[in-house]
Structure 1
Amino acid sequence: MYFIFYVLTISVCLSTWMFEVSGNKVLLISMDGFRWDYIEQVDTPNFDAFAVNGTRAQYINGSFVTKTFPSHFTMATGLYEESHGIIANSMYDPEFNEYFNKRSKETKWWDGGEPLWITARKQGLKSAAYFWPGDEAKIKGLRPNIHFKFDGTIPFRSRIDSAVQWLSDDIDLVMVYLSEPDTTGHLFGPNTPQVRSKVKEMDDLLGYIVDAFDKASLWDTVNVIITSDHGMTEVDYANKHVDLSNFIDMNVVDAIPTTGPTANILPRVDMEQEIIDNLTNVPHIKVYSKDDIPEHWHYKEHRRILPVLVVAEEGWVALKGPEEYSEPDLGAHGYDNTLSTMKPIFYARGPNIKQGFESLPFSIVDIYPLVCKLLCLKPAPNNGTLDNTKYFIVNDNSESCPRVTSSSSRNYLQIYMLAILSLFLISPIRNIL
């Protein structure tokens, strides 16, 4: 009997070795509204050290519109906003005849793309998302293995503690959303002492992350990406606005679901050209029919993008009327993604990331295929490319990626191997006994 136990133990060890995960884990953190040049305005020793031990880009190019929900879902899916359908924080769907806001969790709003947490689950890995836009919706029949209802009162360090624990256990991908420095940037404007103080706090948080990884001995198995969704610029709603009601008859408008840096307008039947004509020469805005929206924005092919798009000049806002003049925010985003003030940050460190490397700028859609590569996942169709990030990927495990399994899948494989080996080994032993 002791010999049988010995054989079974060897079988388990062999099966564990044969099916060890080839890819490394990933922690993806978004610091909302972290503009690329905030780093240059204050001392950020932890970001500086992170770059020395990994890779940074001076900035990356966000998606249009540069808003939180669309940008985060683009990052998660690698799809342009016109492809995944989350085209604004607030929007109208003419097919549903319904409005979307940041509390909308129904699958029908979110099923235009496959986010990383679903790609991971479909291929046998385990995923967790901490307040990432879209993570509460069921997509492709799945949600992350771990997810929560949004609660902005949960301290950032508590979120990091949870992420470190999950990665120390059996979770392969963790995505964490942090709402700063965006909140502070909105309240006070980007070029203020309050924002500089908040950037220092986020630098301290990064130091906390590094220390936590040191204590948990995770640097050999986890790649960490720190990025953001967009930047921030100064606004003055009271004095630098274009009141659309001064130029168009609101009786010929069915809906304007979003205003500010951009406004989507749904005209009544046959009123589109009249609205465009009346707004064409108005200072501080540009107006586009849907067909004429610039190609480089990748923002025209979805039905939720309404027939008329107004884009304000940087620092100005397009409003529906006087009721919106009193908006207290002194900072905003949502403008043309080619503006330098709209550019996000990007830092990465880990076993598959080159050290001391500065990458050329790349697109936010390239993050999805990058994370898939690090996790050894086959990406879903997307608009990104590895061509822009392959230069800082090291210790590439491509040849062994087909053998990758999650911890749970590996357990099933171990049991399978154990059963097979037992058939061959135990039967002859019975004869001997």
Structure 2
Amino acid sequence: MTKRALAIVLVIATSFVSFGCNKSTTDTLLPDQKTLLISFDGFRYDYLNKVDTPHFDSLVAGGVQSEGLIPVFPSKTFPNHYSIATGLYPENTGFIGNTMYDPKWDEWYRIRDREAVENGKWYGGEPIWNTLEKQGVRTGTMFWVGSEADIQDMYPTYWKPYDADMRLRARIDTVIKWMTMPAGKDVDFATLYYSYVDTKGHRYGIQSDSLKNAIRLSDELVGYLKMRMKEKGIWGKTNILIVSDHGMVNQAADKIISLDKIIKMNDVERVLWGPMTMIQPAEEKSEKVYQALKAAENNYKVYKKEELPERYHLKNHRRVEDIVMVADLGYTILDEDYKQQFLNSLPRATHGYDNKNKEMQALFLARGPAFKTGSTVAAFQNIHIYELINHLMGTTPAQNDGAIDSVRVLLN
């Protein structure tokens, strides 16, 4: 019996209880199905309407698309990619931002700090590649948040450290090589990741020709992927999920909140900047800082950590600072000393805002033997994708916040 078949038998024979989710079922699965998860970072839910996208359109016609993919809050890259991988909210993964401070360890995590990025201690929960590997399913990750780290002292069977300069088609070629190696070495689950749509959106804005060209390039890559998979005979037996982590909204020079005009900066120990700004007041200054922010509350909302809305699923982790500001859509919180520098190099668009805003929703579409064809479904939360992949692979999920019933509408 192959490892793949053994994993399916074990799943059928094993009961599973988790919080907020149901056991994946295997009644529609075929033993030789593969799954490919692809992320186009910063690809907003409505970007396919901006230009002609014949290859995306072909996938939609032969598969299923949602009206949006709802990110976790904050609507940032690392928290969302890792929540997709684990099915957990940020307060359960510990990923509460692209940059974060851990008071227990007195250490910082920054996305450009390779030592931190590759250190598994920062990553809570169990990512999908670990779940599958534990059950005998080989995996390969061509860039995904967490896949470079020794989470649970494990790695995927094949993985690559992130290299922004790796050629776009070469990423596809490498993944297809992994998926079509001789039996016993090939992978049944793989990931792909591209960042350039996000980069062009930030730099030039969501109405720019540069962004439209990035969307066209994404479409060309989808066409290339289809061609290569057909050449290798795996197109018809692969379930392909194309996702993004968040949407995007334009910024403006007149939508600035100067934090140091509201509070005295020597009353705070730390500020983690962004559309969601976290503030750690100096000792015994917490109430003073909060009351000043509350009195000036305009174009933002301010919360004490313990009063954060439950729907954020954020407050129950030590890495969240004592006071949290959430800017209104399109507004930027910054220090007055940095204002001119910010204006001189004004990013044209950004994200990180309240995930209830439609503008923060991302792309989701899927096609393959497990999925409906020619269907459109309502937007759903990205935490359910972990459960969905386990269903497709016939494996038992680890504890997570998602539910297969929330995405069963996608399936045949």
TM-score by length of 1: 0.84
* 1:286 to 2:301 alignment: yes
What is the one-letter code of the residue matched to 1:262? M
The equivalent residue for 2:72 is 63
Partner of 1:158: 170
**Aligned ranges 1:20-39 → 2 under 5 Å:** 22=31, 24-39=33-48
**Separation (CA, whole Å) in 2 of partners of 1:109 and 1:17:** 30
After TM superposition, give the deviation of residue 167 of structure 1 in Å.
1.2
Residues 389-431 of structure 1 show CA distances to partners (whole Å, capped at 9, x for unaligned) of: 112223xxxxxxxxxxxxxxxxxxxxxxxxxxxxxxxxxxxxx
Of residues 234, 247, 252, the one that matches 2:262 is 247
SS in structure 2 of the partner of residue 100 of structure 1: strand
Q: Which residue of 2 aligns with 1:84?
A: 93
| Corresponding position of 1:106 | 119
Higher helix share: 1
Listed as ranges, the gaps of 5+ residues in structure 2 are: 9-30
2:375 corresponds to = 357
Give SS of 1:225's match. Answer: strand
Q: Secondary structure at the match of 2:164?
A: coil
Q: How many angstroms apart in 1 are the aligned matches of 2:237 and 2:92? A: 33
Equivalent position amino acid for 2:312 in 1 = W
Structure 1 residue ranges without an equivalent (≥5):
1-14, 395-433
**Residue 56 (structure 2) aligns with:** 47
Q: Using the alignment, how far apart are the partners of 2:70 and 2:77 within structure 1?
A: 14
> How far apart in 1 are the matches of 2:312 and 2:383?
13
Assess, with a 3 A threshold, how the Cα gap between structure 1 residues 74 and 217 changes in structure 2: closer, same or farther.
same
1:112-154 deviation line (CA, Å, top 9, x unaligned): 1110111111111111111211111101110111122211001
What is the root-mean-square deviation of aligned Cα atoms in Å? 1.7
Match for 2:148 among 115, 126, 136?
Answer: 136
Residue deviations 1:71-105 (CA, integer Å, cap 9, x gap)? 10000000001110011000111111111101322
2:337 aligned to 315, 318, 322, which one? Answer: 322
Q: Distance in 1 between matches of 2:120 and 2:288?
A: 36
- Partners of 1:302 and 1:33 in 2: how far apart? 26
User: 1:335-376, CA deviations, whole angstroms, 9 ceiling, x for partnerless residues?
Assistant: 011111100010111111111121221110000000011011
Deviation at 1:240, TM superposition (A): 2.1
1:347 aligns with one of 362, 365, 375:
365
Structure 1 distance, partners of 2:315, 2:32, is 37
2:152 partner SS: coil
One of 270, 274, 281 as aligned partner of 1:260 = 274
Give aligned pairs, total. 377
Counterparts of 2:91 and 2:4, CA distance in 1: 43
Counterpart contact for 1:243–1:322, Cα < 8 Å: no
Deviation of 1:250 (Å)? 1.0
Deviation at 1:283, TM superposition (A): 2.0
Asked whether the 8 Å contact 2:3–2:137 carries over to 1, the reply is no
Cα distance between partner residues in 1 of 2:348 and 2:69: 24
1-structure distance, mates of 2:42, 2:175: 21
> How far, CA to CA, are the matches of 2:66 and 2:315 in structure 1?
29
Of 149, 154, 157, which aligns to 1:145? 157
Q: Deviations over 1:43-76 (max 9, x none)?
A: 1111111011111112111110000000100000
Which residue pairs with 2:192 in the alignment? 176
Aligned sequence identity (%)? 36
Q: CA deviation at 1:17?
A: 12
CA distance in 2: counterparts of 1:23 and 1:214, whole angstroms: 16
Q: Secondary structure at the match of 2:398?
A: coil
Secondary structure in 2 matching 1:255: strand
Aligned counterparts of 2:335 and 2:399: Cα–Cα separation in 1: 38
AA at the equivalent of 1:215: E
Between the aligned partners of 2:260 and 2:326, the Cα distance in structure 1 is 16
In the alignment, which residue of structure 2 is the partner of 1:196?
A: 212
TM-score, normalization: structure 2? 0.88
Structure with the greater alpha carbon radius of gyration? 1
